[in-house]
Amino acid sequence: MSSEIKIILDNILAEGRHILTYAESRTIMKLAGLPLNKMSFAKNLDECVTKANEIGYPVVLKIISKDVIHKSDSGGVKLGISSDGELRTVYNEMLTSVKNHYPSAEIEGFSIEEMVEGVELLIGTNTDDQFGKMIALGIGGIFVEIYKDVTFRLIPISEKDVRDMIEEIQGKKVLDGYRGLPKVDLLELCNFVINISKIIEENKVIKEMDLNPVVATKEGLKAIDARIILG
């Protein structure tokens, strides 16, 4: 597994790139044994419908295009689609909206993703001038930059370190199953974070990794976005 990751990362660097595509980031995650939400790639509406049925409604539809920088802002992401009919409508609206924002955008296709619900966490890594590789854990989601409820530790980390990090999260109460949200399996979370720590240790070339959010669902943790930057 780790040698395969290394080969992929080396190839990307050889191409002179530093930012992994979403698909590449997902491949790395998969090789590392980190759980992801279900996702399929579709070229057109019919394929979208087929894939959506394979995954099972409700689903998320996202546009895939390297020209579309701000996916959400341009209407390129739609959550909670619950039927074939709704998917067809959303598909057409999305194409129109994205074309309005980016008239010359080349659309490569669509991703159909499993809709997951639960507590949104952030797990990430960075490279500090003074301390080298660091790992972050906190409350994730779109407000992460506002609340900054994230703690850091130096890589490598132990289970005790992760448990201390959890203790430090201001909003740690949401991990206990707040208002019907699933309770976060702390041992699973520890293993997930330790796993990330190991990947970074083995692949120092990864400068930053951003998993936001990692959703703690009823069935366990699922990363639904991954951004990996080399340096």
Q: Which of 56, 80, 85, 132 binds other proteins (CB under 8 A)?
A: 132
Q: Is 157 in the site for other proteins (CB under 8 A)?
A: yes
Is there a contact between 100 and 68 (Cβ–Cβ < 8 Å)? Answer: no
Q: Is 69 in the site for other proteins (CB under 8 A)?
A: no
Number of residues lying near other proteins (CB under 8 A): 15
CB of 129 to other proteins, least distance (A): 7
> For residues 161 and 138, what is the distance between their CA atoms, to the nearest angstrom?
14
Task: Candidates 25-33, 65-73, 158-166, 201-209: pick the segment binding other proteins (CB under 8 A).
Answer: 158-166
Q: Is 198 in the site for other proteins (CB under 8 A)?
A: no
> For residues 60 and 71, what is the distance between their CA atoms, to the nearest angstrom?
13
Q: Which of 66, 160, 173, 179 binds other proteins (CB under 8 A)?
A: 160
Residue (of 121, 37, 25) closest to 79 by Cα position: 37
Extract the tokens encoding 167: 């203790």
Task: Candidates 18-26, 35-43, 112-120, 123-131: pick the segment binding other proteins (CB under 8 A).
Answer: 123-131
**Minimum CB distance to other proteins smaller for 17 or for 148:** 148
Exposed e or buried b per residue across 91-112, where buried means at least 16 C-beta atoms within 10 angstroms of its C-beta? beebbeebeeebeebebeebbb
Distances (CA, A) of 231 to 87, 91, 169, 188, 199: 39, 37, 29, 29, 15
Q: Where do the H-state alpha helices sit in the chain?
A: 2-14, 22-31, 45-55, 84-101, 144-147, 159-168, 186-202
**Minimum CB distance to other proteins smaller for 13 or for 154:** 154
CB of 154 to other proteins, least distance (A): 6
> For residues 119 and 178, what is the distance between their CA atoms, to the nearest angstrom?
9
CB of 125 to other proteins, least distance (A): 12
**Minimum CB distance to other proteins smaller for 22 or for 152:** 152
Find the helix or strand (DSSP H, E) in which 120 lies.
Answer: strand 119-128
Task: Candidates 22-30, 37-45, 86-94, 150-158: pick the segment binding other proteins (CB under 8 A).
Answer: 150-158
Q: Which amino acid is at 18?
A: H
Task: Candidates 56-64, 89-97, 156-164, 184-192: pick the segment binding other proteins (CB under 8 A).
Answer: 156-164
Residues 167-186 that bind other proteins (CB under 8 A): 168
> For residues 137 and 123, what is the distance between their CA atoms, to the nearest angstrom?
5
Q: Which of 86, 109, 152, 220 binds other proteins (CB under 8 A)?
A: 152
> For residues 40 and 48, what is the distance between their CA atoms, to the nearest angstrom?
9
Residues at the contact surface with other proteins, assessed by CB under 8 A: 128-132, 134, 151-154, 157, 160-161, 164, 168
